[in-house]
Amino acid sequence: MEFMAKRAKELSNGSLKVRIYPNATLGTQRESTELLQIGALDMVKSNASELESFEPAYGAFNMPYLFRDRDHYYQVMMGEIGEQILGASADKGFIGLTYYDAGARNFYAAKPIASPADLKGMKVRVQPSPTAVSMIEYMGASPTPLAYGELYTALDQGVVDSAENNITSYVTSRHGEVAKEFSFSEHAMIPDVLVISSITWNKLDADEKVALKQAATESTMKMKDLWTVSEETNRKFAEEKMGVTFKTIDKTAFVESVEPMYAELKQKNPELSTIVEDIRKKGA
């Protein structure tokens, strides 16, 4: 974010000044997005899962095993499909500027989770996304939507048995202290998204729009490098300081368990299903 702000100022010859408020200083992701819609905030970095409730097109990213690998992910993010989704919310009071890598989401618990069979009977914390809830149900567990800030205590006290997230969030939230088995299910790669209020965007002149878009795009590639370093550093810390075990698993059974979700999506939401299928075909 700081890199993006600096580049926006440079590229606009000083006319764009971006002030960063980190760590939910201005509210939760949902609260911030609602403020964005009425122009009370200019820009917000949110997660595509949260944005699904504001703009259904972002729901595409919540589908499990949507991306084959990181290269496929970036092909979509930086290509025509990614731009199409960023622009889909123009009538909702905001538009997307760019995406940020948030890694792959994986299961962690007090025991290894190597297949859907290991999830049977377990309560798994999920984000407040209908797609995430459905995914956990298809995998055979009980989805438990829960605020992220409550998750450490919930894992520690057995309110939930498992959760799923990327390595960096897992370590920085200290979840490795209460759930020491981390299994690389890599079931979702859901980007963060930088969005701008339509009110703010419409106040910018043409040159400022170009400068801000370029700064945002450059910051995506900066984040790609930062994320790689972050995951490596946090994994090492978790292994050496928290006693966490990281387990590589065969994902075949997980992939097969959620495949019915794609047929279900085609029936319920043909428009979103078209976007999802376009993503799956990209670069195949």
How many of the other CB atoms lie within 10 Å of CB of 192? 18
Q: Which superfamily, per CATH, for 2-101+189-239?
A: Bacterial extracellular solute-binding protein, family 7 (3.40.190.170)
Q: Average of pLDDT values for 275-281?
A: 95
Q: For the domain bounded by 105-188+241-254, which CATH number is listed?
A: 3.40.190.10
> 114 is written with which tokens?
């190597």
Do the beta carbons of residue 37 and residue 30 sit within 8 Å? Answer: no
- Order of strands across the sheet with 181-188? 142-145, 123-126, 162-165, 105-109, 181-188, 245-248
Among residues 84, 50, 48, 53, which one has the least CA distance to residue 66? 48
Q: Average of pLDDT values for 214-232?
A: 96
**How would residue 128 be classed by pLDDT, with cut points 50, 70 and 90?**
confident
Cα–Cα distance for residue pair 139/153, rounded to 1 Å: 24
Q: Average of pLDDT values for 68-94?
A: 95
pLDDT digits (tens, 9 = 90+) for 3-52: 999 999 999 999 999 999 998 899 888 899 999 999 999 999 999 988 98
pLDDT at 283 exceeding the cut of 80 = no
Residue 258: the pLDDT is: 97
Q: Find tokens 């300081």 and name the residue.
A: 241
Q: Average of pLDDT values for 92-121?
A: 97
Residue 64: the pLDDT is: 96
pTM: 0.89
Do the beta carbons of residue 192 and residue 102 sit within 8 Å? Answer: yes
pLDDT digits (tens, 9 = 90+) for 189-220: 999 999 999 999 999 999 999 999 999 999 99
Do the beta carbons of residue 179 and residue 155 sit within 8 Å? Answer: yes
Residue 149: the pLDDT is: 87
Cα–Cα distance for residue pair 9/211, rounded to 1 Å: 8
pLDDT digits (tens, 9 = 90+) for 144-192: 988 888 999 999 999 999 999 999 999 999 999 999 999 999 999 999 9
Task: Give the rounded percent of residues in the chain with a pLDDT score beyond 70.
Answer: 99
Domains of the chain by residue range: 2-101+189-239, 105-188+241-254
**How would residue 255 be classed by pLDDT, with cut points 50, 70 and 90?**
very high
Cα–Cα distance for residue pair 158/160, rounded to 1 Å: 5
Residue 284: the pLDDT is: 61
Instruction: Decide whether 2-101+189-239 matches 105-188+241-254 in CATH topology.
Output: yes
Residue 129: the pLDDT is: 78
pLDDT at 105 exceeding the cut of 70 = yes
